[in-house]
């Protein structure tokens, strides 16, 4: 497995972990939640379909009543995200 693929897997694991923590906090309903900040979700300039998958997972997993700040370069995969903002 290449280093590039290992980095992609590591990024996915980290995102999955962060989203699961956010879901647990949301379920507790007793915590003050700061904005959920995602910096450059298109790490290592991954393939377009993977980037779209990451964005859709963020939209699905981050509760609607939470503020999400997404720092990203312009990309067609962000159209639905921008529309729903």
Q: Which stretches of 1-85 are assigned E, i.e. beta strand?
A: 36-39, 68-71
- Give 41: exposed, middle or buried? Use CB within 10 Å, 0-12, 13-18, 19+: buried
**Tens-place pLDDT, residues 9-52:** 677 788 888 889 888 888 888 888 888 888 876 665 666 667 78
Tens of pLDDT, residue by residue over 43-69, are 656 666 677 888 888 888 888 888 989
Residue span of the structural domain in which 23 resides: 3-84
Domain count, the chain: 1
């Amino acid at each position: 497995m290449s280093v590039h693929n290992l980095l992609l897997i590591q990024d996915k694991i980290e995102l999955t972990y962060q989203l699961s923590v956010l879901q647990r906090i949301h379920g507790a309903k007793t915590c003050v939640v700061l904005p959920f900040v995602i910096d450059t979700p298109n790490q290592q300039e991954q393939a377009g379909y993977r980037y779209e998958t990451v964005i859709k997972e963020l939209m699905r997993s981050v509760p609607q009543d939470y503020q999400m700040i997404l720092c990203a370069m312009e990309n067609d995969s962000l159209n639905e995200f921008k529309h729903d903002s």
